[in-house]
Structure 1
Amino acid sequence: MAMVRVRRLLLFAAAQALVLWLLCLLAWNPRVQTARTALGDWLNGRHLYPCAFLKRPAVFAHGDSHYYVVWETTCASGTPVLEWWAEAAGSGPAPVRHYTKPSYRTIDGAHHRYTAIIGPVAGAARVSYKASSYRLSTAQHTFSRRGESERTRVLVIADNQNGPTVFRRVLDAIQRHYGSGSGPDAVLHVGDAVQSVDSLGDWQKQMFSPMEDGGGYLQRAPLVFVPGNHDHDKRRTPNNANVYADMYHGLYRTDDLDSVAVKNGSYHRFHHSLSLGGARLIVLDAECPSEEQSAFLERELRSDAFQAARFRIVAVHIPPFMEFWDPYAWNKKGEKHWGEHVRLEYNRLFREHRVDLVISGHQHNYQRSTVRRGEDPARASTITYAIVGGAGGALDRKRVEDWHMYNTTFLDHHFVAMDIDDRRLSWTAHNIAGTVVDSFVIERQVHGPPGAGRER
């Protein structure tokens, strides 16, 4: 009789373990996670969701010594504050804690957005922050700032629009690549995070929730965001829909957060530049070419910061040279002319000022081309164009052009790990299974003229 009871207890325990295992599988299933986010968004829209953080504080790179933090609650949280502090490398005195009152914007009754700037933090090795109010509080988040001679790990993704389930699978592969104990130091998103810029549900389901669930990269790796045509409202009107893609207004004057232009939504400038370890990165807006942006680009390309950088990078959503798209839209709807100025105006400047790497999205697959530029050994001899539009959106597999230049073409979903140190830039593209589909290295001499080196 005792043996029977033991056997039943063992069977019961095994059944419980099996049920728990199945529940864990369901909880981590990308489809279930997407459905859960959609349900939460539906409940929140009907004011059936409890007062809570809808979007935990997300940190965006904001120049070289500032960061822009965005969070959102389902109710007006009351007397909110962003607490932050910066620490230098090694031991030292306790860091000074700063308390910043955020700018508040009511998007609708269920979406209350807060924005604040961290900085200046020049010389800091680590930055920590948390958002709180008398009703709500987040956990402390910390991110690292690497020096020019240290390795800086950058995750490169684009075009997860309208594919949240696939995007979660890509994020699973990213977590496997970096491991549980580490991760990227920054994320470069080259545009089209959502399908519709004016859909609050798209921003939640397709961008914020997957990235929070899939590694928490929005909290612990500053995001460099390059707005694409789907997450870009080009209207300069007070009711424009750039409620999450406007992180770079006030880039040069941090007090611009309180300006009238920002409050009424009419401010419009997405181009900017920053350093990532030993690389200098210029971000361009492919959707709104302007005399201001052209002047900015030439000024930045000629700047000492760009020319003295070990690696010189430009990120722009629409590639200079596209080969895959929907043939009808390409030929009959005139979409072949989208971003034509990138190839006709900007690309000439890229080559003239020795840009090493041009990173784009827009085209939903992966292509990489390394093109000879000149024979002068004292100058960088190649320029590399990379298209990384495979983070989740429906794939482009129909060829519409052939530029006879791409070394590698991969027509599936993927992500890129880019590691930068003082001597080399290592680029590795992975598919969802984690298999390497392309890689290259740009090497530099530690001593010698800027641009001296080779790519292999």
Structure 2
Amino acid sequence: MSSTPQTSNQSQPPPPSSSSPNNKPQPPHHCSLEISTAANNNTKESLPPPQSSSNANLDQATPPFTSIPSTKATLNQQLVHLFRLTTLRSCRKLKRILSLAILFGFLAFALFLFAWPILRPRVILFSFKFRNRLHNGGYLGCSLRKQPMLFIEDTNRVLAVWESNCVLNNVKLRWYLQNHNDNDNNQKDVQIKNVGGMSDVLIPAILDSTHNVYKAIIGPVPNTLSQSINYPIRILAISDNQFGLSVFNQLLDGVVKRHPPPNFIIHAGDAVQDYDRLQQWQTDFYDPMTHHRLAQNAPLIYAHGNHDYDPSLEYPYTSSRLWYAYTIANTRWIVLDSNMDDPLQDTWLLSELQSQESRDAMFRVVIVHIPPFIEFWDPYAWHNKGEKHWGEFVRLRFVPLFQEFGVDLVISGHQHNYQRGSSNGITYTIIGGAGGELDYQRVEDWHIYDSVQKTYHYVTIEIWDKTLKWVAHNIDGLVIDKFDLHK
């Protein structure tokens, strides 16, 4: 038996077997170092063998991270490649984020535009109450709480009423015609004191530390009987906005958007629910009227209601005149106080209806808060609390004089809906729909009304040479009733 000779070097490792599962053939690497061990344990370094084209192709298909970098340049290339790859992914992610942000921003803007008509009234009402709190807390310094509001005193004079949260010193009142120039003789600057003829500024009424009311009678104003008057004379008529700020603000917003600016404003009473709550005068009446720039440009013709009746008769926030008359555009306007059971008022009304101004007027119009013919009210208050007698007072004391001296139109509030009818040649209207809770329950039927509308509303009046045009609108501006008076 023969044997295979053995080498004397026992440290020589056996050649790798191709069949061994742990010795898989490795792909060649053109930048690798090959280490071989000689039989004499001397280590030598050999250069890589020349590579064929097939090896080159295989090398190109090998992922860059499977190789062992041999040079600094190659490592930098791989780092640059990694940086570019990371940057590309970051840019794509950033683009997606920006695209989503733009999309959500557009949707939010579209939603805002859609919701703004709903949000806007709430924002305005919030601003009224927030500003009032700032005044109460003294955070706004010495400033005006209420911008000047104008009230008719008589044919030739207008009352300006404003309020500050402090005592004003060395303040001037300037008034002038709307279409004025620097040389206009009607432009006046006066000090806050009694100056006599052109402007009578009254002593301020200090209601408390943050409510100081000033009143100034301005006159004479241009006579509305002048031949140069421009027809038509436009008048806005409202009443009973009490405790209905949201409706009142919406109603005024529609007025200024749909109609030309009025020359005058009729308010038939109950501007607030509680006359002695100063914040109601601020947020429920002055703020909305000022926000829409109505009573700053058009004088108010105001008749006191039962809710804004002041037992002291001082009326710091309106004209303190209880009954009065004036002429506008050949129409005699007669304002009565239905709160006052006073024989002096009866005597004055008789004298007024007999006056030359009243007889010469084209139309005679009476404004009185409580209607003589009420049909809708709270049944319990009507029958058990004596409130049915309010209309009775007006009906028995004033209506006979209306009929005797040919009054053409009677405008009232108090009842919170709209009615229009006629009796003995006199047109009676009820316009108490500017914000107060509507009256739906019938308590009487006088059989005189041709139009009954249980909705919030306002009225526009146009006076032409010999015609008075009356149009009632609901809160959306739709016409709910109209009629003309001709002479």
TM-score between the two structures when normalised by the length of structure 1: 0.78
Q: What whole-Å deviation, never above 9, does each CA across 1:1-40 have from its counterpart, x for those lacking one? A: 79959967965874685587479546632x3322322222
Which residue is equivalent to 2:261? 183
Q: What whole-Å deviation, never above 9, does each CA across 1:372-404 have from its counterpart, x for those lacking one? A: x3xxxxxxxx21000000000001111111101
- Asked if structure 2 preserves the Cα contact closer than 8 Å seen for 1:55 and 1:71, the reply is yes
Amino acid at match of 1:98: K
Amino acid at match of 2:279: G
- Asked if structure 2 preserves the Cα contact closer than 8 Å seen for 1:41 and 1:201, the reply is yes
Change beyond 3 A, Cα 1:408–1:124: closer
Which residue is equivalent to 2:300? 223
Q: 2:172 aligns with which of 59, 81, 86?
A: 81
Change beyond 3 A, Cα 1:211–1:149: closer
1:171 aligns with 2:283: no
Which residue is equivalent to 1:439? 482
Q: 1:303 aligns with which of 341, 352, 355?
A: 355
- Asked if structure 1 preserves the Cα contact closer than 8 Å seen for 2:224 and 2:328, the reply is no
Alignment of 1:375-386 (within 5 A): 382-386=425-429
- Structure 1 residues without counterparts, runs of 5 or longer: 126-144, 249-268, 374-381, 445-456
Deviation at 1:99, TM superposition (A): 2.1
- Asked if structure 1 preserves the Cα contact closer than 8 Å seen for 2:372 and 2:394, the reply is yes
Alignment of 1:44-123 (within 5 A): 44-86=135-177, 94-100=184-190, 101=192, 102-103=201-202, 104-123=204-223
- Aligned-partner Cα distance in 2 for 1:401–1:243: 36
Amino acid at match of 2:160: V
- Asked if structure 1 preserves the Cα contact closer than 8 Å seen for 2:417 and 2:431, the reply is yes
Deviation at 1:174, TM superposition (A): 1.2
- Aligned-partner Cα distance in 2 for 1:23–1:81: 44
- Aligned-partner Cα distance in 1 for 2:481–2:178: 37
Amino acid at match of 1:67: V
Amino acid at match of 1:119: G
327-336 or 1-10: which moved more?
A: 1-10
Deviation at 1:207, TM superposition (A): 0.6
- Aligned-partner Cα distance in 1 for 2:227–2:293: 19
Which residue is equivalent to 2:410? 358
SS, match of residue 154 in structure 2: coil
Based on CA coordinates, which of the two structures has the bigger radius of gyration? 2
- Asked if structure 2 preserves the Cα contact closer than 8 Å seen for 1:280 and 1:309, the reply is yes
1:232 aligns with 2:335: no
Change beyond 3 A, Cα 1:314–1:399: same
Deviation at 1:349, TM superposition (A): 0.4
Change beyond 3 A, Cα 1:93–1:77: closer
Q: 2:316 aligns with which of 230, 243, 257?
A: 243
SS, match of residue 207 in structure 1: helix
Change beyond 3 A, Cα 1:392–1:289: same
- Asked if structure 1 preserves the Cα contact closer than 8 Å seen for 2:240 and 2:271, the reply is yes
- Asked if structure 2 preserves the Cα contact closer than 8 Å seen for 1:26 and 1:32, the reply is no
- Asked if structure 1 preserves the Cα contact closer than 8 Å seen for 2:374 and 2:391, the reply is no
- Aligned-partner Cα distance in 1 for 2:476–2:325: 33
- Aligned-partner Cα distance in 2 for 1:25–1:51: 34
- Asked if structure 2 preserves the Cα contact closer than 8 Å seen for 1:191 and 1:227, the reply is yes
Change beyond 3 A, Cα 1:404–1:147: farther
Which residue is equivalent to 1:340? 392
Deviation at 1:310, TM superposition (A): 1.1
Q: 1:405 aligns with which of 439, 445, 448?
A: 448
Which residue is equivalent to 1:430? 473
- Aligned-partner Cα distance in 1 for 2:227–2:117: 36
Higher RCO structure, 1 or 2 (CA under 8 Å, sep 6+): 1
Q: What whole-Å deviation, never above 9, does each CA across 1:285-310 have from its counterpart, x for those lacking one? A: 00012121111101111111111111
Q: What whole-Å deviation, never above 9, does each CA across 1:348-393 have from its counterpart, x for those lacking one? A: 000110000000000000000023x3xxxxxxxx210000000000
TM-score between the two structures when normalised by the length of structure 2: 0.73
- Aligned-partner Cα distance in 1 for 2:95–2:388: 74
- Aligned-partner Cα distance in 1 for 2:210–2:227: 38
- Aligned-partner Cα distance in 2 for 1:46–1:87: 36
SS, match of residue 390 in structure 1: coil
- Aligned-partner Cα distance in 2 for 1:41–1:92: 36
- Aligned-partner Cα distance in 2 for 1:227–1:435: 28
- Aligned-partner Cα distance in 1 for 2:186–2:386: 55
- Asked if structure 2 preserves the Cα contact closer than 8 Å seen for 1:323 and 1:401, the reply is yes
- Aligned-partner Cα distance in 2 for 1:326–1:98: 50
- Aligned-partner Cα distance in 2 for 1:155–1:222: 11
Amino acid at match of 2:357: A
191-200 or 76-85: which moved more?
A: 76-85
Deviation at 1:177, TM superposition (A): 2.4
- Asked if structure 2 preserves the Cα contact closer than 8 Å seen for 1:229 and 1:287, the reply is yes
Amino acid at match of 2:376: F
Change beyond 3 A, Cα 1:415–1:443: same
1:387 aligns with 2:430: yes
- Asked if structure 2 preserves the Cα contact closer than 8 Å seen for 1:365 and 1:395, the reply is yes
Alignment of 1:301-340 (within 5 A): 301-340=353-392
- Aligned-partner Cα distance in 1 for 2:117–2:143: 26
Amino acid at match of 1:287: N
- Structure 2 residues without counterparts, runs of 5 or longer: 1-90, 193-200
- Aligned-partner Cα distance in 2 for 1:220–1:339: 33
Deviation at 1:83, TM superposition (A): 0.8
- Aligned-partner Cα distance in 1 for 2:335–2:399: 14
391-400 or 115-124: which moved more?
A: 115-124
Deviation at 1:172, TM superposition (A): 1.9
Alignment of 1:187-202 (within 5 A): 187-202=265-280
Amino acid at match of 1:201: Q
Amino acid at match of 2:289: M
SS, match of residue 236 in structure 2: strand
Amino acid at match of 1:307: R
CA RMSD of aligned residues (A): 2.7
Which residue is equivalent to 2:282? 204
Q: What whole-Å deviation, never above 9, does each CA across 1:57-94 have from its counterpart, x for those lacking one? A: 111111111110011122223212211134899x9953
SS, match of residue 219 in structure 1: coil
- Aligned-partner Cα distance in 2 for 1:15–1:74: 44
SS, match of residue 62 in structure 1: strand
Aligned residue pairs: how many?
385
- Aligned-partner Cα distance in 2 for 1:363–1:87: 36
Q: 1:282 aligns with which of 331, 334, 337?
A: 334
